[in-house]
Amino acid sequence: MAGIQQSGIQEDDDLVFRRICSLLEPLNHKRARLTRDLDLVADLEVDSVSVLDLVMDIEDYYDISIPVNTISETKTIGQLVDAIHAIKGQQG
Amino acid sequence: MSLFDKFEKNAALFNELSETGRNPFAVVMERVLGPTRAIIKGRETVLAGTHNYLGQTFEPKAIAAAQKALAEEGTGTTGSRFANGTFAGHKALEAGIAQFLGLEYCLVFSTGYMANLGGIAGLVGAKDAILIDADCHACIYDGCVLSGGETVRFRHNDPESLDRRLERLDPKYEGKLVCIEGMYSMFGDIAPVKEFAEVAHRHGAHLFVDEAHSFGVYGDNGRGVSEADGAMDIIDFYSGTFSKSLAAIGGFVASNHQALESLRFSSRPYMFTASPSPATIASASAALANIKATPALRQRLWTNIGRLHGALTQFGLNLASGPAPVISVLLPDRETAFMAWNFLLENGVYVNMAIPPGTPNATSLLRLSVSAAQTDADLDAITDAYAAMAEAFPGARVAGVS
């Protein structure tokens, strides 16, 4: 977790948010401070395929199914976190 | 915000590439000289990035058949398969492909892209789920979107990852279609088709295999990776294209399920576009007959693959996979890929450059496609250019990439 300390995410105790931030860290080439408002593609410049790959990691971690259709509607980290909470609520 | 703002970022990149005078995405074949040579930028260039795997673009029998069809049946069908665009030739080609594959039913589409688009969107509805390999081609993704079905990705070439996803899939979905490719065109790696079929069937799902790059190339009879893996009898749907091994344009979906025939009145990309022209159908049919009668073409291709893959390995280049009709060299970043691509072109060899997001795992690569028509002189030119590239770009070599 040492790597994510500098992102300042310790202020947020949402475990899904923290999980996404730790998965995003290797893709965060600009070393941006990760917040819920950050747009994955526009701000972090993570390409659309990498976002889908990250979602696959989350699916296996939480053992849930996240349809591609759901992902294409999320733009920010916060929206992705909310979508995962909603699916966890239904499937978990 | 305007309608055009979304293009800005990629337009800047595209224009920057164009200003160099060598944009890999705006290459013009000024004059085609044969199956493996063309004039590019005023200069004779060896074509090593055209997916002309069996070298059929100038097959005399295919050209004669196309000329005959053009003279006898006209320039176009002026209609869709669903209305006035089905000629005797379209039906004969469908029967020919079905027989070549040992499958019962076959539908011909106007392009390979549309075969996958129409096959998937035709089979899958809004109440069904599609599970696709993460590295599937754009046309499979587009087919998923058009179908309206729920789409889930599984890890590339990983039947266990598919198994887990089918296991946890909501039982509310009525039907389940699993999509994979025989050979993946970016890295040239092949799928464990049989294993995927077993996992899919265990969960009551159907398996759809896109063999666009492997049709005519793999298997004892050229039926593709499904044949090579002993899975022809257990896969559910098989799609392919005429634009690679058959050197025309068009595509098809084949199956032993009679339900495939229902796509003729329910698949929009089949119903609402003009059918392939008579000349296109005639050349594809003649090329199919020719590759069936001439296994030596496939043998020559594999000889060329062995020679090129061996040479590139010897140069220490960082190759994406084992010997295959596509041989990709992995490069550390887009800039190096662009410079190395240019370097090869300046040395008289055209290959494809592929960069993210068009590639898996944000990889940049140079894709070489092998052809049975490449002569010894072509192969020498290709290996000489790659040897020089390996010297000039340490990042392209295995040690350089670390």
Closest CB to B168: pick one of A52, A56, A65.
Answer: A65
Whole-Å CA distances, B225 to B147, B192, B219, B230, B325: 26, 9, 6, 8, 12
Closest CB to B134: pick one of A53, A67, A91.
Answer: A53
Cβ–Cβ < 8 Å for A75, A41: yes
pLDDT of residue B351: 98
pLDDT band at B362 (very low <50, low <70, confident <90, very high): confident
Q: What is the ipTM of this complex?
A: 0.81
| Size (chain A), residues | 92
Query: A53 contacts in B (CB within 8 Å)?
Result: 134, 361
pLDDT of residue A5: 42
Mean pLDDT value across chain B: 96
pLDDT of residue A77: 92
- Put simply, the answer to whether B356 touches A66 (Cβ < 8 Å) is no
Q: How far apart are CA A36 and CA B109, in angstroms?
A: 45
Query: A48 contacts in B (CB within 8 Å)?
Result: 357
Query: B169 contacts in A (CB within 8 Å)?
Result: 65
pTM (2 d.p.): 0.94
Whole-Å CA distances, B354 to B24, B153, B342, B363, B381: 9, 22, 13, 8, 22
DSSP for B294-336 reads -HHHHHHHHHHHHHHHHHHHHTTB-BSSSS-SEEEEEESSHHH
pLDDT of residue B196: 98
What percent of chain B lies above the pLDDT cut of 90?
A: 91
Which helix (H) or strand (E) covers residue B366, if one does?
A: strand B364-369
Per-residue pLDDT tens over the stretch A57-81: 999 998 898 888 888 888 899 999 9
Tally of CB atoms within 10 A around B293: 10
- Put simply, the answer to whether A65 touches B360 (Cβ < 8 Å) is no
- Give the distance from residue B109's alpha carbon to the nearest chain A alpha carbon, in angstroms: 26
Query: B357 contacts in A (CB within 8 Å)?
Result: 47-50
Closest CB to A63: pick one of B141, B152, B168.
Answer: B168
* Residue B230 buriedness (CB in 10 A; 0-12 / 13-18 / 19+): exposed
Using the predicted structure, report yes or no on whether residue B206 has a pLDDT greater than 50: yes
Whole-Å CA distances, B355 to A88, B61, B361: 34, 38, 10
pLDDT band at A12 (very low <50, low <70, confident <90, very high): low
Query: Does A57 reach chain B within 8 Å, measured CB to CB?
Result: no
Closest CB to A65: pick one of B161, B170, B362.
Answer: B170
Mean pLDDT across the stretch B273-280? 98
DSSP for B116-166 reads HHHHHHHH--TTSEEEEETT--HHHHHHHHHHT-EEEEE-TT-HHHHHHHH
* Residue B159 buriedness (CB in 10 A; 0-12 / 13-18 / 19+): buried
Which one of A24, A53, A54, A58 makes the best mutation probe of the B interface by having the most chain B beta carbons within 10 Å? A53
Cβ–Cβ < 8 Å for B340, B393: yes
Per-residue pLDDT tens over the stretch B318-358: 999 999 999 999 999 999 999 999 999 999 999 999 998 78
